[in-house]
Amino acid sequence: MQEVLFVAKLSFLIFFNLIVFSSITITHSFSYAQNLNLIRDSEIENTIRGYSSPLLKAAGLPDSSVRIHIVNDNNINAFVTNGLNIFINTGLIINSDSIGEITGVIAHEIGHLEGAHLARSKEAIRNAENEIILAQILGALTAIGSQNSKSTGNAASAIILAGSATAQNRFLRYNRSQEQAADQAALKYLDNTKQSANGLLAILKKLQKQEAINSISQNPISRTHPVTQERIRLVSKHIETSINSNNQHSPSEILKYERMKYKLKSFLSPPGEVIKFIDIKKNNLLNRYAKAILTFRTSDTELSLSILNDLIFDYPDDPWIHELLGQFLFESGLVTQAITPYRQAVSIKPKEPLLRLGLARAQIESGKKENLSEAIKNLKIATHLEKSYAPYWYFLAIAFGKSGYFAEAELALAESALLRGQIQKALHHAQKSLENIETDLPVKRRAQDIINLLENNN
C-alpha cells in the first residue's frame, strides 16, 4: 500500500516539475527563479527597457512596477514570477532574428502579468493537488478494505493513478487557456504600440520546431502549453487583418538590437563560435565591438583596449563603449585608469545606476581618499535609482568604512543583508549601527526601523 501511494505522489511531483521547468516554450515559473544565474548589463537592460516600456503602458502597468531580468541560459525561454518579474533567457535573445521576436515574447509575458495568471495558476495547482490527495485517500481506503486481496490492491492503484491523470489534464486545459489569453493580450499590446506581430509569429514557429523534437506526449492536452499550431493560427489571422503588420523598426533600433546580440554572444559563446560569428571583412561597429570582447576574453588585453579606444574616437558619445573600456581596465588591474571612461559613461547616462556602480568600485579600489567621497555620492544616487539591488549597499558600506563612517557602513550592510533575505545578518548590522551612532538622526531612525521590522516579523 505504501508503494502505491509513493508512485502516485512521484507522478504528481514529476508532472508539476515539468510545468515549472519546461524549456520548450514561453512559460511562467513559480519558484525556481531565485536559483538562476542572472546577468546585469546596463546596455542590454537599457535596450530591453526600450522594448518593454511602451508595452507595459499599453497594458496599463506602471513601468517602474515590473522588473525584467536577463538569465544566463541557452534555452529559448521567458517566464514570469511573483512580484511582477519577467525573466528572459540569453538563449532567446541570441537565437532571435529580429526585434519583433523579443517584443512579442515580452508582450506575451506582460499578458500573463496583467491577467494575474501566476496567482490563478497557483490556485489551479492547489486544486489539482487536492484532487490527487483525495484519490490517494480513496485508494488507501479501498486497499485497507481488503488487505489480502491482490485485485483490491490493483483497484487502489487504479483509483490513485486515474485521479492523478484527471487532475493533471484539468490543470493543463486551464494552463492552455491562460497561454491563449496571454497571446491575445500580446497582440492587443503590439497593435496599440503600432508594432507588427510578425516577430511573435516567427518565435512561435521556432518553438514549434522545438516542440516537435521535445514533445512529451502525442496527446495535445498533455503538454505544458497550448499546441503551438493553435497559437500560430491565432497570430497568423491577426497579421492578416492588422494595419501594423508591415511596420518596421528604425535603423537605430535595429543597431541597438544587433549590439545586444553581438555583446551577449561575444561574452557567453565559446571563442571558436565567436570567431565564426564575426565578419572579419567588415570593420563596422558591430564587428569591432565583438572583436574587442573576444580579444579580452582570450587574454589579448592590449589589442582589446586598442580597439575600444579607436571606437571611442569614432563614437565619443557612446556610453556603453566607455563603460566597456572602464570594465576591461578595471579587470586588468588598471583601476585608476578605469575611472576616466567610467566617469565619461556616467556623464552621458547619469540615470543608469549600474554605470555609477562601476565608477564607484574603481574609485574605491583606487586607494585614494579623494575618490571615496565621490564613490559614496555615486552609490547613494544608485540606491535611489534602483532601491532593491543589494550590491549598491554593499559597496556603499565599503566606501563608508574606508572613510571612517562606521555607523553608516553598518547600516549599509544591514540594507544589503535585508535585500538578500539574510535576516539575522541584517539585524546584527542594524544593531551595530546604533552602537556606533553619535548624532546622525536619519541613520539612527533607519537602523531602528530595520530592527523593529525584523523583530516584529520574527
The count of residues in the chain is: 458
Sign of the CA dihedral with 55 first, then 77, 33, and 269 last:
negative
Whether 30 has a pLDDT exceeding 90, the answer reads no
Confidence class of residue 179 from pLDDT cuts 50, 70 and 90? confident
Q: What are phi and psi of 148, to 5 degrees?
A: -95, 0
Taking the C-alpha atoms of residue 376 and residue 293, their distance in angstroms, rounded to an integer, is 30
Confidence class of residue 136 from pLDDT cuts 50, 70 and 90? very low
pLDDT of residue 184: 95
pLDDT of residue 21: 28
pLDDT of residue 175: 59
Whether 227 has a pLDDT exceeding 90, the answer reads no
Of residues 453 and 382, more confidently modeled: 382
At 375, list the grid cell: 564613490
Taking the C-alpha atoms of residue 395 and residue 371, their distance in angstroms, rounded to an integer, is 14
Of residues 331 and 151, more confidently modeled: 331
Q: What is the pLDDT of residues 81-106, one digit of tens each?
A: 877 899 999 999 999 999 999 999 99
Residue partners of 329: CB distance under 8 A and separation at least 6: 305, 335, 337, 338, 341
Q: Which pairing describes strands 38-39 and 67-71: parallel, antiparallel, or unpaired?
A: antiparallel
Average pLDDT over the chain reads 82
**Ranges of CATH 1.25.40.10 domains, the chain:** 252-457
pLDDT of residue 151: 54
pLDDT of residue 157: 53
Do residues 195 and 247 make contact, with C-beta atoms less than 8 angstroms apart? Answer: yes
Taking the C-alpha atoms of residue 225 and residue 333, their distance in angstroms, rounded to an integer, is 49
Average pLDDT value for residue range 416-421: 96
Picking from 87, 248, 222, 97, the residue whose alpha carbon sits closest to that of residue 166 is: 222
Q: What is the pLDDT of residues 378-387, one digit of tens each?
A: 999 999 999 9
DSSP-assigned letter for residue 79:
E
Q: Mean pLDDT check: name the lowest of 6-15, 266-275, 299-308.
A: 6-15
Average pLDDT value for residue range 351-368: 98
pLDDT of residue 8: 32
CATH class of 252-457: mainly alpha
Q: What is the pLDDT of residues 48-86, one digit of tens each?
A: 999 999 999 999 999 888 999 999 999 989 999 877 899
Torsion of CA 421, 374, 263, 108, to 10 degrees: 50
Taking the C-alpha atoms of residue 230 and residue 233, their distance in angstroms, rounded to an integer, is 5
Q: What is the pTM of this model?
A: 0.79
Helical spans, DSSP H, in 193-299: 198-214, 228-241, 251-268, 271-277, 285-297
* 453 SS3 class: helix
Instruction: Tell me the angle at which helices 319-331 and 301-314 cross, rounded to the nearest 10 degrees.
Output: 160
Percent of the chain with pLDDT over 70: 75
Residue partners of 89: CB distance under 8 A and separation at least 6: 71, 73, 74, 75, 76, 77, 78
Taking the C-alpha atoms of residue 168 and residue 165, their distance in angstroms, rounded to an integer, is 5
Of residues 304 and 141, more confidently modeled: 304
Confidence class of residue 178 from pLDDT cuts 50, 70 and 90? confident
Q: Which of 12-26, 121-135, 270-284 has the highest mean pLDDT?
A: 270-284
Whether 367 has a pLDDT exceeding 50, the answer reads yes
Whether 288 has a pLDDT exceeding 90, the answer reads yes
Average pLDDT value for residue range 276-283: 84
Whether 120 has a pLDDT exceeding 60, the answer reads no
Cα-Cα end-to-end distance for the chain: 41
Confidence class of residue 458 from pLDDT cuts 50, 70 and 90? low
Whether 279 has a pLDDT exceeding 90, the answer reads no
Whether 447 has a pLDDT exceeding 60, the answer reads yes
At 9, list the grid cell: 505522489
Q: Mean pLDDT check: name the lowest of 32-41, 43-52, 312-321, 393-402.
A: 32-41
Do residues 306 and 132 make contact, with C-beta atoms less than 8 angstroms apart? Answer: no
How many Å is the maximal CA-CA distance in the chain?
86
Do residues 382 and 348 make contact, with C-beta atoms less than 8 angstroms apart? Answer: no
Q: What is the residue-wise DSSP string for 93-143? A: HHT--SHHHHHHHHHHHHHHHHTTHHHHHHHHHHHHHHHHHHHHHHHHHHH
